[in-house]
Every structure is written in C-alpha cells, then in structure tokens.
Copies of this chain bind each other. A is one copy, B any other.
Amino acid sequence: MNSGKLGNRTFVTIKDVAKTAGVSIATVSRILNHTAGVSETLEARVREAIETLGYSTNDAARTLKGKNSFSIGLIIPDIQNPFFPALVRSIEDTAHASDHAVLLCNSDGDVEQEMRYIRFLHGKRVDGILLIGGQQSNKSVELAESLQMPIVLLDRRVKGKKLPAVFLDNAHGGRLAVEYLLACGCQKIAFIGRRSLSSAEERFNGYCEALNDKNIEINRKLIQSQPFTFDGGYKGTEALLKEKVEFDAIFAGNDVMAFGAIACLQSHGMNTPQDIQVVGFDDIWMAKGYNPSLTTLCQPVAEIGQAAVNLLLNLREKTEPKVLEMRFLPQLIIRDSTMKKSKE
C-alpha cells in the first residue's frame, strides 16, 4: 500500500483506497466529492478504507486537474504594524472556514516586493489575492490583472483603480474624532498624520470637514506631516511644541502615533487629558491598556476581514466582473485621553 511518494515521505493515494475497497478510483473520487450517486454498500466500504488507510486528498493533484487551489494570497505591508494582526486573524479564520489556506506575504509597502509576491502567488495558482497596498500599488494591481488573478483591495485605495474593495469610512472617522473633541470643549485641534495613503488622507479630510462644518478655520501650523509610527507621533508633537502654536487637542493618524504624542507631552510636563486631549485611530489592543487609556476610533476588523475574503472567493464564481465596494463605519470609543471640560 502507500503507493504515493514525495521526497522520502509516502502517502496513501486514491488508488490504495480503491484497491482496499475493491472499487475503481473513479468511485472513490465520486464519494470524496459527492459528485454522483454511489450505492451505500460501496460508499461504506470506501469510507472504511479511507479511515483505516488514513487517506488524505492530495491538493496538488486536485489543483492540477481542477478549478482552484483552495488557497489565497494575502499581501500586507508588515505584520508587525499593530493594526494588522487582528485583521489577518479574521481573514485567516474566514478563509480556513471554507478550507482555503492563506499565504502571508509582507511587502513593506514596496511595489517591487508586491510584484515579486504576485508572481510567486501566481506560480502557486492561488485563487485570488487580498492586497493591502502601498503608495504605488497601481502597478501591482495591473500585474495581477494581466495575470488574470482575482484581486480585492483592502483598507487602502489604489489611485486610478476601480476594483472590488473593502474599506473603512476613514473620513467619517476623522469627522467623529474632531466633532467629539469640539464637544469636549477643545478649540485648537492639531492633526498629526500624513497624506501618503488613501486611508490617511481621508482621515485628514474628515478632520477638515468637521472643522469647516463649525466654521473653524484650518490652521496650517496645527498640521504636522509625520509617518504613522510612535516616533512620528512623538516628533509631530515636539514640532507643535517648538512652533509655539497654541493647541488643546491632538487628533493622531493612528493609535501608535497617539501613544507617541502622549509620551512626548508627558516628557514635556504636560498631561493628557488635563492639558492636551488626544484621540487616536484603529483601537488596537494597547489602546485600552495605555496610560492613559486612549479615546479612539474602532474599526470593525473582524467584519472587514470576513467581507474581504468572501468577496474574493465569490469573485471567481461570477463571470461578470462586478466591481463591488464595501464600506464599513468606525465607532468612537471614549476613554481617558479625552474629557468633557466644564465651560471656563
């Protein structure tokens, strides 16, 4: 028995099962795939053979012959970015729930890397790609399209490309953040972020819209362009301090920047929320545990991941290339980095 081999390992094949059960391999295949009526007698015999032999289907053969590989590629900038783990987790759970493997690839947001991975995943014949792109991912997307690979965009838009995508309404989040700070009594709200990514830009737009709504003029000095890191938040705050602009609140592009901002304030003898109020974005796990705990915008990560996988898997069924876009809403989570000031 154990006719199959791969390297120095041996595998039970469909042939072994067929022989032990005394049927043809076609019958075994049918039973495995519930693909045609098979008599109960044979079915029982085959199932027993499968059991005793410990047969497991060979996905490589199935892929070679069949329609899909039961795997998807997930390209993200860096799993070490604390926003991604929760999203990745929900993607994997969803994918595995329909028996699809997830091949994780870290691109560092670099187009060349992305394209390398797309080619790699093409060789693996993945059923599709979930992409959280970088700034120039339009090239990657074009490559994927030319390779006829189904692709779904996640979290970030790609300029000039209309594609199936799952997003958060970042502008709405920005608006919520600023509106809440205003409601808290803040007047001079600074923004630390960067307009490099679509998501980041939208958050900034939300910030502007909320201020416009209240007829508050936007003060350029209150806007600091910094990378979305702890250090970025720290430096942006330092810059605000140096410029001697007055400000009473900071809306940070994400939670990690918010932590950096708070740390900077503290090292300059200012407290959050008493002196300066701070709002972050994403609601990563640490937002609750930071000192002070962080008011922030919570993304429905589980739903987003799930929607993205389902969208991708449905894509290959439909022949018409439906461009679907799903948009989710963030939710304001109020914690200790903000406070309602009594009118002075």
Contacts and interface: CB of A to CB of B under 8 A. Distances in A.
Task: Please report whether the interface of chain A is mostly helix, strand, loop or mixed according to DSSP.
Answer: mixed
A316 B7 contact: yes
Contacts of A256: 289
Interface stretch (A40-48, A117-125, A152-160, A235-243): A117-125
Contacts of A120: 96, 99, 101
A82 B79 contact: no
B125 A6 contact: yes
Interface string A52-75: 001011111101101111010000
Interface string A253-283: 0001001101100100000000000000000
Interface string A314-329: 0010010000000000
Contacts of A63: 6, 60
A101 B194 CA distance: 33
Given A64-B58, A289-B263, A104 B92 contact: yes
- How many interface residues does chain A have, given as a range? 35 or more
B85 A79 contact: yes
A292 B6 CA distance: 54
A145 to B, nearest CB: 12
Nearest to A149: B9
Contacts of A125: 6, 11, 58-60
What 6 pairs between A and B have smallest CB-CB spacing? A60-B63, A7-B67, A9-B148, A60-B64, A101-B103, A79-B85
